[in-house]
Each structure stands twice: as C-alpha cells, then as structure tokens.
Chain A
Amino acid sequence: MYNFNYHRAGSLAEAESALAAAEDGALMAGGQTLLPTLKQRLASPSDVIDIGAIPELANIESAGGAVTVGAGTRHADVAGSAAVASAIPALAALAELIGDPQVRNMGTIGGSIANADPAADYPAAIVGLGATVNTNRRAIAGDDFFQGLFETALDEGEIITSMAFPVPEAAGYAKFPQPASRFAMVGVMVSRGAGGVRVAVTGAGPSVFRVGDMEAALAGNFSAGALDGISVSADGLNADIHGSAEYRAHLVGVMAKRAVQAAGG
C-alpha cells in the first residue's frame, strides 16, 4: 500500500472540506473494498477521508411509506434491523447474503453502491425496489444511478448520504453466489408496489439492469409460472471461468423465478 494522509471526519461538513482540500482524496466508509484495492496498489490517493464514524450517516428510519437507510449503515446492521425486517424483509435478507460476517460488520451500503461492482448485491435492491439515492447535493433516482462497469452518476466530491426505499407490497431476492468470491454470479430482486413490478438483475451484466418482458408478465400474473418461456439474451453479458454469458442468461430466469417465490408469488 502506498502511503497517504488519513483523516477521520466527525461530520458530513468535515468530510466535505477534507475532500475539497485534498489533492487526490478518497472517501472510505467500511474500507472493505477500498483497503483491498490500496493493498493491491490499484489506487494511490493522497488522502483517505474516513466517513465510517459519522453518526448522521448511520441511521435507519421508517416513515411515510419508505425506509431510509443512512449511507454509513453496515451490512450487518441492515440485516439485523427490526425496521427493515418488518417493512422490507427482502432487503434484510439481501444484506445477510453479502460476503461473510466480518465483511458485513464493516462494509456499508453507501460504499457498496458508490463502488458499483458489477457483481455487488445492493445495486439489485436500489433498482429492484425503485430507491432514491440522496447525496450532499441532490436526490438521484435509483434507475439513473448506475451507469456502467464501476460507473455511477456521482460527480467529483459528491457524497452519498442515504437511500430511500419505498415499502413494496411484496419483494424477494434470490442470489446464485459465484463459488469462489461469493459475490453474485447472478442476483435478482423482484418487487411489486405502487410503482408497478420491478425485476432488477445484478452480476450478469456490466451493470445492474431491468428485464421489461418479465416485469410485464408479472404485472398481469405475479407468480413464478408467469416467467415460463421468457428468456434473456446473452448478448453483452459477463463471461469468465465461472460461467459463460449463456449460463448467466439462463441463471437470470432461474433466479427471477426464485425471487418471485421468495416474494410470495
């Protein structure tokens, strides 16, 4: 790891000014992606600004038909939250499937979506539940947040503060873990709510995507059987030693059905 200057921010305002003052600053929340990246010398920021201990970023609030999760909330705290479990059990279940207990004790939801790993779990929740991503500057629709491989709508110096998840009538998440890393080979979040039906897929492509044909079929009949005969094209999907693009395309169908079943359909 190259050396850097470490700063611990006590508030969002402190984080903003430390980031602005740094020559080439990087935010660190849980460090579960950033530190491995620094250890591999894949990045060399001049300054690391630790936002992991900012109390205002670590709240979970359930009000007005939405659950708002602070960006600094650890995966274990989303998984263990009574408010999340009662309003959106699929979100708690997804958090429990991330990595291992030690990664869940440090890693945060904000860090996960800012990183936009193609195989990360949370992107499926942001898009599949129709969440809004709030930053220190604006609110970004979940559908517009992920823009490609490790690419998001965040601007230079922008800090995610929270994510607001509308409470669905039903939602389910199904994940087929990649056998070595346990990230999602394919993960599908399905939800039905005021905004209609959503089917969001992570792991299969360079970035999370929705499957319109499945959403239309489920809008008429919210059951796994409604997905019979609907296939996803392998064009542009990820391929590696763990599975071809065709294999992933097939898994999308299987995981989507399991997600609908998990949602009670």
Chain B
Amino acid sequence: MASVSLTVNGEAVSAEVEDRTLLVQLLRDHLRLTGTHVGCDTSQCGACVVHMDGRSVKSCTVLAAQASGADVTTIEGIADGDTLHPMQQAFMDNHGLQCGFCTPGMVMSAIDLLKRHPGADEATIRRELEGNLCRCTGYHNIVKAIRQVATAG
C-alpha cells in the first residue's frame, strides 16, 4: 500500500491506496470527486484532464503515488462559489457541450492552453485540443467558447 498526501482543490488530503491506483481513481473513488471522467483506457480521450502543479495532465495516466506531494486542481475546484469559472460560463453561452462527458477535460485543457497561449487564435486552439476527444459537438462550439474567453481580455 502507498500513503499519499496531496493538495486537491486547495485542501490537504491523505489516503492509503494500492500502489497501482491511478490518480483518477483516487479522485473519483476515494475522494468522490466524480467530475473528472474516464473515457478510454488508451490515454487518448482527455476526459480525465486535471491540473497537477500547474500543468494539464491525463489523470488516468498518472499514479496516485506519483502525484503524492503535488497540487492538483479538478473541475470541481475552478468555480468561485456559485459563480462559474469564465471558461465554464463560455461553454454554457456557446453550447460547447451536448452530453457533457468530455466537458470537464475540455474545460481543464482549455484553461491550461489559454495560460500558455493568451489570446490564442482558432488554429492554436484546435491544435492544443489534440488530446481531447468529443463525440457530440463536432468541436466547433467548443472552439468558439474558448475564443470567447481568449478575446474577453
């Protein structure tokens, strides 16, 4: 068993988990933060994207033990009380989701991409979403939502 201690959405958490436990399993099964989704077993879909020490990662491809000591932010940690994060609001405004399965990962990737490419143009946004798959929207409204935040100044 591994003892892991990390910060999740600003709170210190500790758990005893099997060594093989993935970060996403720690988040969903142990901490009951089920906003982070699992959409594949090949590390390709991005439904599981969270921020770890300020970088976006696929939480299905990080061990919980590997994340011990890290500062993790999930989709549950970005709103300000009842006020949605501007990226969440933009997805709502632009109909950037249909079933919503990919949305948590999309939003976390989108926040990270604008941090690295402030004011990103459409081509940059599309390239940066390489690791996030959506089966419903055709991406167009997701890109529009991210552009809304990129151009909001």
> What residues make up the interface of A, taking CB atoms closer than 8 Å to B?
1-6, 8, 28, 31-32, 35-36, 38-40, 48, 50, 52, 76, 99-103, 105-106, 182
Contacts and interface: CB of A to CB of B under 8 A. Distances in A.
Pick the most buried of A8, A35, A76, A100: most chain B CB atoms within 10 A of its CB: A100
Interface string B16-30: 001110100000000
Interface stretch (B61-69, B73-81, B93-101): B61-69
B69 to A, nearest CB: 9
A105 B18 CA distance: 25
A6 B56 contact: no
Contacts of A3: 18-20
Contact of A8 (B58, B62, B66): B66
Contacts of B57: 102, 105-106
A235 to B, nearest CB: 31
Interface in B99-131: 109, 112-113, 116, 128, 130-131
Contact of A101 (B2, B22, B113): B113
7 contacts: A5-B19, A31-B61, A31-B63, A36-B42, A100-B46, A102-B131, A103-B58
Contacts of A31: 61-63, 66
B130 A39 contact: no
A99 B55 contact: no
A99 B2 CA distance: 30
Pick from B19, B46, B68, B112 the residue with the most CB of A within 10 Å: B19
Interface residues of A, dominant DSSP? mixed
Nearest to B116: A101
B104 to A, nearest CB: 13
B131 A106 contact: no
B14 interface: no
B40 to A, nearest CB: 10
Counting from the closest, the 5 A-B pairs by CB-CB distance are: A100-B131, A100-B130, A6-B19, A105-B55, A6-B65
B49 interface: yes
A101 B19 contact: no
A99 B130 contact: yes
Contacts of A99: 130-131
A106 B61 contact: yes
B41 interface: yes
Given A31-B66, A35-B61, 10 more contacts: A4-B19, A6-B63, A31-B63, A35-B63, A76-B55, A100-B130, A101-B131, A102-B56, A103-B131, A105-B56
B151 to A, nearest CB: 21
A40 B42 CA distance: 8
Residue in A35, A102, A103 with the greatest tally of chain B CB atoms within 10 Å: A102
Contacts of B116: 101
B46 to A, nearest CB: 7
Given A1-B20, A3-B20, A31-B61, A101 B66 contact: no
Nearest to B48: A102
Contacts of B49: 102
B60 to A, nearest CB: 8
Nearest to A100: B131
Given A31-B66, A99-B131, A105-B57, A36 B20 contact: no
B65 to A, nearest CB: 5
